[in-house]
Amino acid sequence: MYDVAVIGGGASGMSTALYCKRAGMNVLIIERELFGGQLNNTNTIENYIGVGNISGDELSSAMHDQILENNIEVKYMNVKSVKETENGLLVENSKNSIKTKSVVLATGVKHKELGITGEFENQGEGVSYCAICDGFAFKDKKVAVIGGGDSALEEGLFLSNIAESVSIIYYKGKENLKVKSELYDRFMSKKNTNIFYNSKIKQIEKRPKYNTSLEDELLLCCESKGLTGIEELDNIVNSANKSIYGLITDGVFIYVGVEPVNEIAKESGISLDKQGYVIIDDKYMTSMKNVFAVGDLIHPDMKQVSIAVADGAIVSKHIKEVIQWI
């Protein structure tokens, strides 16, 4: 039986595992895919004290190296739920179960989807949620970024060094754009960038690119007439030969916010707030005894690497206090 099973290999999960290990506990990290979490989707981190500018991938790799150096056990497994037993907790999926005295949920957040026609159908075929992952597939091509926050502009800046042109598409007016002024200035100073305001996308259509049968392009169809800077287009596929308003692009990156990865918590009957984030007490414990939560999964408004790492350090002390009585 493990002292603690940490579910999730992002910054908060790795920090928790490291501090628990150094406190003499028998630790397991369970990850379903790739270590690093949202760090892997972050171009540049500028405010992690003592490090300076560093890419998310570099910081993630350094953290993972430290996990390996400290001989912390890792299992790759898609967890379904956590259950209470007389002798501790069971971490389960359809095939396996792991016995542990305590559990830490560090499952983080994921990018929201727009939920519009053509989004799901074209994922991996021009539609992406990660510029760092997929941006280089659009070298010297036209791309659009849907969103109006810091993340959208950061990804737009990253793409501007790769793509022929980058268009931010924001559904509200310029006065509603809530981004850091220096970030806005850097984005707009680029010669290949632009922002379309009051432009709400209702559908993504794929069609053969003009003058070639070898490539496709995407049409981002807008909701209504009278949009700022969006062109009127004729003879669009599936538009019944009616003129519509939209933007033609080779790829589209969607950045409209994040939502908690809370499926395990839900399946386990753990209490969530109205936004779906896990509710904890002052010792990071959830509504299930000896199940703790850390990182972005508990912070609706403060998604920072420094906070995620601090959560791991703090929760390790509380876990140590709990497991000595089990």
Judgement on whether residues 10 and 37 belong to the same structural domain of the protein: yes
**Where does the chain have alpha helices with state H?**
11-22, 56-69, 131-134, 150-160, 181-188, 263-268, 305-323
- pLDDT of 228 > 80? The answer is no
What is the reported pLDDT for 264? 98
Mean pLDDT of 205-211: 73
Domain boundary among 254, 278, 311: 254
Judgement on whether residues 188 and 287 belong to the same structural domain of the protein: no
Domain contains 121: no
Q: Which residue has the tokens 């499952």?
A: 107
Judgement on whether residues 269 and 198 belong to the same structural domain of the protein: no
Domain contains 35: yes
Judgement on whether residues 267 and 248 belong to the same structural domain of the protein: no
What is the reported pLDDT for 227? 43
- The pLDDT confidence band at residue 210, using thresholds 50, 70 and 90, is low
**Where does 79-237 have alpha helices with state H?**
131-134, 150-160, 181-188
Identify the H or E element spanning 42.
none
What is the reported pLDDT for 208? 76
Q: How far is CA 254 from CA 5, 167, 168, 257, in A?
A: 33, 12, 10, 9
Domain contains 116: no
- pLDDT of 242 > 60? The answer is no
Residues 294, 104: contact at Cβ < 8 Å?
A: yes
The mean pLDDT of the chain is: 88
Judgement on whether residues 238 and 268 belong to the same structural domain of the protein: no
Domain boundary among 226, 254, 282: 254
Domain that holds residue 23: 2-111+259-323
Domain boundary among 231, 254, 277: 254
Mean pLDDT of 19-25: 97
Residue 2, classed as helix, strand or coil, is strand
Domain contains 92: yes
How far is residue 154's CA from residue 190's CA, in Å, rounded to a whole number?
13
Mean pLDDT of 245-261: 89
Domain contains 119: no
Checking DSSP bridges between strand 88-92 and strand 81-85, what pairing results, if any? antiparallel
What is the reported pLDDT for 236? 44
CATH of the domain at 158: 3.50.50.60
**Where does 87-244 have alpha helices with state H?**
131-134, 150-160, 181-188
200 compared with 294, residue with greater pLDDT: 294
What is the reported pLDDT for 279? 98
Number of domains in the chain: 2
For the ranges 140-144, 158-162, 198-202, 261-265, which has the lowest average pLDDT?
198-202
Write out the two tokens for 33. 């895919």
How far is residue 257's CA from residue 263's CA, in Å, rounded to a whole number?
18
Domain contains 40: yes
What is the reported pLDDT for 288? 98
- pLDDT of 212 > 80? The answer is no
pLDDT digits 0-9 by tens, 110-146: 989 999 999 999 988 899 988 888 899 899 999 999 9
Judgement on whether residues 224 and 164 belong to the same structural domain of the protein: yes
Domain contains 122: no
Q: How far is CA 161 from CA 45, 140, 195, 207, 257, in A?
A: 18, 9, 17, 26, 23
Mean pLDDT of 185-204: 91
Q: What angle do CA 153, 43, 28 make, to 5 degrees?
A: 130
Please count the residues of the chain: 326
Judgement on whether residues 16 and 81 belong to the same structural domain of the protein: yes
Judgement on whether residues 246 and 270 belong to the same structural domain of the protein: no
Judgement on whether residues 74 and 10 belong to the same structural domain of the protein: yes
Domain contains 118: no
160 compared with 300, residue with greater pLDDT: 160
65 compared with 39, residue with greater pLDDT: 65
What is the reported pLDDT for 223? 61
How far is residue 163's CA from residue 143's CA, in Å, rounded to a whole number?
7
Write out the two tokens for 133. 């992952």
How far is residue 258's CA from residue 326's CA, in Å, rounded to a whole number?
37
How far is residue 171's CA from residue 148's CA, in Å, rounded to a whole number?
8
How far is residue 72's CA from residue 314's CA, in Å, rounded to a whole number?
19
How far is residue 209's CA from residue 201's CA, in Å, rounded to a whole number?
20
Mean pLDDT of 93-107: 95
Nearest to 12 by CA among 51, 39, 48, 33: 39
Judgement on whether residues 102 and 148 belong to the same structural domain of the protein: no
What is the reported pLDDT for 63? 94
**Where does 135-191 have alpha helices with state H?**
150-160, 181-188
How far is residue 64's CA from residue 14's CA, in Å, rounded to a whole number?
7
Q: How far is CA 99 from CA 2, 92, 316, in A?
A: 6, 9, 19
Mean pLDDT of 175-191: 93
pLDDT digits 0-9 by tens, 303-325: 789 999 999 999 999 999 999 87
Write out the two tokens for 13. 């999960």
Judgement on whether residues 132 and 236 belong to the same structural domain of the protein: yes
Judgement on whether residues 267 and 214 belong to the same structural domain of the protein: no
- The pLDDT confidence band at residue 211, using thresholds 50, 70 and 90, is low
Residue 266 amino acid letter: K
How far is residue 187's CA from residue 178's CA, in Å, rounded to a whole number?
14
